[in-house]
Structure 1
């Protein structure tokens, strides 16, 4: 069955009938009581470019509602280091948008964070699936509010490539590999793999592992209560290795993949000279395909959920940015008010309307998203959260030395595995050694 370019998966069907091919709307805050006039909330986070611009719209809506001014500072990827130096220098920000569970836990254990207000906690209880509260809590106290989420269980494809190959959308991982061979037989490689960025390889592993081993073992491995030498890890690596070692499936083979970063992998599918029919990564692929290569999502670029592996449940691996309030911030009370606002669907609607955003807030009207396809991904994420199946990115839960450092830990070892996937058992042992050192420092 060829892809026909209209409805990408079942959840989208209901949305299309519910409110047509173009979703719009959203509420912008305004007309507040200006109770915070004269105060300035300083916020730091990793966002830059269009993400920073769109988050500023949210902060501006907060200003319109409360009178508080805001100042956003982009840290790049080194949020932990930047925040630590600011605290030591007596210049702590009020709010930090934390992109990793491990960093949130680190901040809480150092005593840097304030537990969230009763108002925010009540809103989280009403508006979020329990799993988001779990990832924002340390030792039973809620410190982090998940404002922006990512669905890292989407596979993006070129409809033109699928039509040319007569390829169908896969319903299982085994069918995914067969679809890859169909695409390869038509003249393109199946997948563009961003091996230069080790974090993309962790995401490949995590989706396979969650579906194949299940959420309980996933949680145990994420906490290093299960060793990486466990049979379930070796099995997942073996499954992933079958893809990595197939020269028809990986564009340019391992050597080229290891020289391809994430934007480059998207370019290999959606750029002016396509080299592959598919690229695996999260919902944020859409932003690169649209903003850098002018692709219309749903017409020039399609997606489908990462399929189930070995008869398991289809995985839903998420990432996200949690807002936390620092104790030492100059206007920390106003910072807490900002989090009370960010917990509402009103705040999420501002960025959802602008695009490039997913909210875990189940009270946000799906019509608010800028397009029907983002709405469908958001629905999938919320449904998974309600079933307690969604799991947070495993490497983001780990100590940075293991799960978040270029050229080290899991990132490097999976790059080595991409280069030579012939011995999954040895790779598992090497990863276990790195994990032991990082988790037990």
Structure 2
């Protein structure tokens, strides 16, 4: 159901619970699509600078096809955000959303029938698509925008064998802990800024007789993936980004001392009877509780903390006040010290299979701060790592929090590790062994089994 993608997880969670709010803040993007590149008085075109597209020549009457796994209802604000571009240029954007995108895009590329542009949710899939020989490098205009508006870590994920192919699109933040601001205020708890403070807070809550944490890893065929996120977060925090990168690429074995240290750190929370599983049962109940249901225990008052990604906001009941002073909010899962800011997350990248002027123009548009702010105004539950994204344009407090984390100059972003690993590991052994670990398997056996699953070169 979830595929091998953190972005897929976010789409399922959102589509299943939240829907999409169309609070499009422009005065706006109605009207037809028969504009001209000289600039139009139509409000859609006048909301952006049409002159920026003149560098690509006359584009009126052209069509750009976009293929993506972003489907109804999340596709609506995407399409809406394209209207100023369409009005300015006279280009029609043909959007195709497909739940089977992650398998079908490879089929289409290999068959020589790719779209003009694809929104690719994993660096590993991006590399496979480039390997088909059908993808084209990003134009200089897009590379320049990426240098201007995104960090080097993001550009690196769109680069294959030293050649830059794909600018980032959307993003999600996984390094979050959900909590109740009201409970924290009532009980005098403070948001931790280091791992030591997080442990101290957990001990403080446990000392009251409550179980501080609630967790669930049930997810159908993908059961176990929430544990992999925990492990990845702690690999980053305990060992740093360089060690994390080597681990993901299997330049360091999965049963290395660094890897075992991360599992043991996660175990100090998830396999600690004093800490879990608030309102749900003992440690083993984590495996039988769905990831969607686990954090709801915070509203019940039976647990205080739940580590899950930004997209988890979609799972709280409609009408829940999710804000800094509301019923539910989240804080950044801290690093070893208050200045270290490792961030685990996911996102999509815009990969082209054609280099026609209209395709380049649309790629360029999607890589600008202009589009990021249009998209922010068009929907809830979406954020970008674009440095030009204005926080005030995000209508959702969790989106705003995520953007602040991504824009922190100290942030060191790393993509979800299991999404970059071979499928035999990232969406099989890692998930399965993590589940066995939760239900009683020891750490050494767990990491040895995952190491053994890595494909032999």
Q: Does 1:228 align with 2:254?
A: yes
Select the structure with the greater relative contact order (CA < 8 A; seq sep ≥ 6): 1
What is the TM-score with the length of structure 1 in the denominator? 0.82
Name the CA distance, whole Å, in 1 between partners of 2:256 and 2:143: 38
Name the CA distance, whole Å, in 2 between partners of 1:26 and 1:129: 28
Aligned to 1:415: 435
Aligned to 2:443: 424
Name the CA distance, whole Å, in 2 between partners of 1:409 and 1:269: 31
CA contact (8 A) 2:322 2:329 kept: no
Aligned to 2:96: 73
Three-state SS of the structure 2 residue aligned to 1:113 is coil
Aligned with 1:237 (options 263, 266, 290): 263
Over 3 Å counting, the alpha-carbon distance change for 1:120 and 1:414 in structure 2 is: same
Unpaired runs of 5+ in structure 1? 1-23
Three-state SS of the structure 2 residue aligned to 1:125 is helix
CA contact (8 A) 1:25 1:369 kept: no
Aligned to 2:136: 114
Aligned to 2:362: 338
CA contact (8 A) 1:184 1:248 kept: yes
**Equivalent residues in 2 for 1:24-423, closer than 5 Å:** 30-31=45-46, 32=50, 35-76=58-99, 78-87=100-109, 91-163=113-185, 165-184=187-206, 189-197=211-219, 198-251=224-277, 252-270=281-299, 273=300, 275-289=302-316, 292=318, 294-298=320-324, 299-309=326-336, 313-327=340-354, 333-353=357-377, 354-371=379-396, 374-383=399-408, 386-387=409-410, 389-403=412-426, 405=427, 408-420=428-440, 423=442
- How far is 1:165 from its partner? 4.4
Name the CA distance, whole Å, in 2 between partners of 1:185 and 1:309: 23
Three-state SS of the structure 2 residue aligned to 1:356 is coil
Over 3 Å counting, the alpha-carbon distance change for 1:179 and 1:30 in structure 2 is: same
CA contact (8 A) 2:175 2:344 kept: yes
Name the CA distance, whole Å, in 2 between partners of 1:69 and 1:395: 36
Aligned to 1:11: none
Over 3 Å counting, the alpha-carbon distance change for 1:292 and 1:102 in structure 2 is: farther
Over 3 Å counting, the alpha-carbon distance change for 1:160 and 1:50 in structure 2 is: farther
- How far is 1:70 from its partner? 2.1
Over 3 Å counting, the alpha-carbon distance change for 1:69 and 1:288 in structure 2 is: farther
CA contact (8 A) 2:195 2:335 kept: yes
Aligned to 1:13: none
Q: Once the two structures are superposed, what CA deviation does each residue of 1:201-233 show, in whole Å capped at 9, x if it has no partner? A: 111111111110111111111111111121111
Count of residue pairs the alignment pairs up: 403
CA contact (8 A) 2:169 2:348 kept: yes
Q: Once the two structures are superposed, what CA deviation does each residue of 1:331-367 show, in whole Å capped at 9, x if it has no partner? A: 9653332211001111001121233222111122333
Name the CA distance, whole Å, in 2 between partners of 1:174 and 1:387: 20
Over 3 Å counting, the alpha-carbon distance change for 1:388 and 1:295 in structure 2 is: closer
- How far is 1:249 from its partner? 2.2
What RMSD, in angstroms, separates the aligned Cα atoms of the two structures? 2.8
Q: Which moved more, 1:169-178 or 1:218-227?
A: 169-178
Name the CA distance, whole Å, in 1 between partners of 2:394 and 2:245: 31
What is the TM-score with the length of structure 2 in the denominator? 0.80
Name the CA distance, whole Å, in 2 between partners of 1:125 and 1:269: 41
CA contact (8 A) 1:212 1:310 kept: no
CA contact (8 A) 1:180 1:190 kept: yes
Q: Which moved more, 1:93-102 or 1:259-268?
A: 259-268
Q: Once the two structures are superposed, what CA deviation does each residue of 1:298-324 show, in whole Å capped at 9, x if it has no partner? A: 212122111224899343112111111
